[in-house]
Amino acid sequence: MIEEIRIENLGVIASATLGLGAGFTVITGETGAGKTMVLTGLDLLLGGRGDPAMVRSGAERAVVEGTFVVGDDVAARVTDAGGSLDDDALLLARAVPAQGRSRSFAGGRSVPQAFLGELAADLVTVHGQSDQLRLRSPARQRALLDAFAGVSALLGEYRATWQRLTEAQARLEEWQARADERAGEAVRLRTNLELLEALDPQPGEDDALRAEAERLGNVEELRLAAGRAHSALLGAGEGAELDATVLVDDARRALDVSDPELAALSTRLAEVSYVLSDVGTELSGFLSSLEADPDRLQTVHERRAALRDAALRLGLESTDELGEWSRAAAARLAEIDGPQDGGAALREEITALTATLGELAERLSAARTDAGTRLSEAVDAELAGLAMPGAHLEVRLEPLPEPGPWGVENVGLLLQPRPDSPPRPLGDGASGGELSRVMLALEVAVAAPAGDAAVRPTFVFDEVDAGVGGRAAIEVGRRLAGLARVAQVVVVTHLPQVAAFADTHLLVSKSTGETTITDVREITGPEREQELARMLSGQEDSDVARRHAAELLDRAVVAR
């Protein structure tokens, strides 16, 4: 609910404060006085586009502030954005500079303009001539019926289930599209696993084969090197008199004296002698094992080539990775061929979700069918009172070929202006005045009793009475007053019959001097009679018009 709106330097308004009551507030004034600027200011607070052209000539910026009584939901969102409430009231503000970008504030905290737009849906419902176009939208018509049916929770559950079903179907389609790909992958895995199973690579095998190949390929060189070393150590062959082991043993015996230091050296030489003897024995064994074996060398080369070819085929950098690839491939093949069929699991999920969605859709359709009947009856009653006797609003549910995100049917509102005319979609053939009355009738029918007057909804109507006059205008005023019993209603009007029903009457007036200044103030008593007289006859000092205005006010009180 809006408590107050303060406007500075917006268009023709230099400074104005609008105090809005909880019931029915009407805003009137001469054409061009600035009534539009009042709604422009509200639009800015609700996230509308800020244009520097809106700024009053000569001013640096236009500022609009509004105080709103809000529910816990809006309060929590403002708190999350870093703002705070003042005694449970939310202050919104918008500053539009003559040059530069506008700034938005919520609860004392600077916020993006879009944030005000997000709050708008929970703060105020604005109806203007453009809303007659929106009323023709199937989405808007469906939203109206669902609001009347009170199915927000059911619709939310349906939409969540529909989303899950859609995602599961997409996953199944992807899974099926990849079936051939998986089958090809399985064939490749099996072929390569069979190759590796026949090849049977062993850890570190290539290194061992490389070493063996090097030995087999250098037999004569190795035999010569080992033989020379063996001869030098053990005196075999030429140069036996230079036997290293004999020389070391001679040195050891030469140090076999009583001197402790030389005795220690003798001990170490004995150790050297033992080592030389062991090395000589191993060299002898090595020489015995060296044999030229061309067949074995060929086998080793072929084995290494087979290992390298397998690694290259599988895109591996080393033959040592063949074992790890084999284990990973076996696991992947088991996943593809295993008992857990991903497609079957998805199909089971889709079957369950389809059944759940069908049940929810059936409940939603039943609620909409029932609500459609009740809404049609309620609107027909309102239209009869709005000087449209015999008019009928038909709520038509057209089944969809398959469930959609909003249910299994399209919702359409059709107007039958007269009993002898066929029902036609809203906006097709209906006049602006008829659409205005239908829109008001729908809002009155959909409005729920206010549980808490402090957070009652707010409706703003901009010339909802366009194209309406006479008795119909009185009935429009009566309906607006009735709506104001459960909501805050703010109406900009040019009809005295509507203005007479208001609880609070705000007059927008302008004075022209060096500059044009618009003032907004509440009027009561004689001033209000005078304004209604002006609206009736264009002459606020006409006695006849004043008497008629007083009669309108009296009848409005009785008609409530």
Q: Are 505 and 475 in contact (CB under 8 A)?
A: no
State pLDDT tens for residues 385-410: 787 888 999 999 999 999 999 999 99
Report residue 190 as tokens.
Answer: 């099996």
| Strand order, beta sheet including 392-404 | 392-404, 407-416, 424-425
Task: Let me know if residue 212 belongs to a domain.
Answer: yes
Q: Could you give the CA distance from residue 399 to residue 411 in angstroms, rounded to a whole number?
A: 9
**What phi, psi does 460 have (nearest 5°)?**
-115, 125
| 479-517 as b/e: b if 16+ CB within 10 A | bbbbbbebbbbbbbbebbbbbbbbebbbbbbeeeeeebb
| 31-56 as b/e: b if 16+ CB within 10 A | eebbbbbbbbbbbbbbbbebeeebbb
Q: Could you give the CA distance from residue 41 to residue 314 in angstroms, rounded to a whole number?
A: 71
Our count of domains for the chain comes to 1
State pLDDT tens for residues 285-302: 776 766 666 777 778 778
CB atoms within 10 A of CB 114: 10
Closest CA to 20 of 504, 556, 395: 504
Phi-psi label, residue 269: left if phi above 0, alpha if psi -120 to 50, beta otherwise: alpha
Share of the chain above pLDDT 70, in %: 87
Res. 283 pLDDT band, cuts 50 70 90: confident
| Alpha-carbon Rg for the chain in angstroms | 48
CB-based contacts of 550, cutoff 8 Å, min separation 6: 529
Q: Could you give the CA distance from residue 42 to residue 6 in angstroms, rounded to a whole number?
A: 10
Q: Which residue has the tokens 């609910």?
A: 1
CB atoms within 10 A of CB 414: 17
User: What is the structure's pLDDT at 182?
Assistant: 78
Task: Let me know if residue 160 belongs to a domain.
Answer: no
User: What is the structure's pLDDT at 134?
Assistant: 63
State pLDDT tens for residues 61-110: 999 999 998 888 888 899 998 988 887 789 999 999 998 889 999 998 99
Mean pLDDT within 507-529:
80
Task: Let me know if residue 279 belongs to a domain.
Answer: yes
User: What is the structure's pLDDT at 452?
Assistant: 43
Q: Could you give the CA distance from residue 320 to residue 205 in angstroms, rounded to a whole number?
A: 8
State pLDDT tens for residues 105-148: 999 899 998 898 888 878 887 776 555 556 777 888 898 899 89
Task: Let me know if residue 276 belongs to a domain.
Answer: yes
Q: Could you give the CA distance from residue 541 to residue 46 in angstroms, rounded to a whole number?
A: 39
Q: Is a pLDDT exceeding 80 seen at residue 464?
A: no
Q: Could you give the CA distance from residue 38 to residue 20 in angstroms, rounded to a whole number?
A: 12
Taking CB atoms within 8 Å and a gap of at least 24, the contacts of 137-144 are 138/410, 138/411, 138/412, 141/411, 141/412, 141/413, 141/426, 142/406, 142/410, 142/411, 144/375, 144/413, 144/442, 144/446
**DSSP percent split of the chain into helix, strand, coil, nearest 5:** 55, 20, 25
Q: Is a pLDDT exceeding 50 seen at residue 450?
A: no
Q: Are 438 and 415 in contact (CB under 8 A)?
A: yes
User: What is the structure's pLDDT at 376?
Assistant: 95
Q: Is a pLDDT exceeding 70 seen at residue 516?
A: no
Q: Are 182 and 334 in contact (CB under 8 A)?
A: no
Task: Let me know if residue 364 belongs to a domain.
Answer: no
- Of these ranges, 26-30, 249-253, 400-404, the one predicted with the greatest mean pLDDT is 400-404
Res. 467 pLDDT band, cuts 50 70 90: low
Q: Are 9 and 55 in contact (CB under 8 A)?
A: yes
Q: Is a pLDDT exceeding 50 seen at residue 17?
A: yes
First and final C-alpha spacing in the chain = 22
Task: Let me know if residue 322 belongs to a domain.
Answer: yes
Q: Could you give the CA distance from residue 37 to residue 491 in angstroms, rounded to a whole number?
A: 14
Q: Could you give the CA distance from residue 206 to residue 307 in angstroms, rounded to a whole number?
A: 8
Res. 33 pLDDT band, cuts 50 70 90: low
Q: Could you give the CA distance from residue 354 to residue 43 in angstroms, rounded to a whole number?
A: 43
Task: Let me know if residue 315 belongs to a domain.
Answer: yes
Q: Which residue has the tokens 């230099």?
A: 14
Q: How many CA atoms lie within 13 A of 508 on its CB side?
A: 28
Task: Let me know if residue 196 belongs to a domain.
Answer: yes
Mean pLDDT (the chain, rounded): 83
Mean pLDDT within 249-277:
82
Domain that holds residue 228: 181-337
User: What is the structure's pLDDT at 340?
Assistant: 53
Report residue 133 as tokens.
Answer: 């176009």
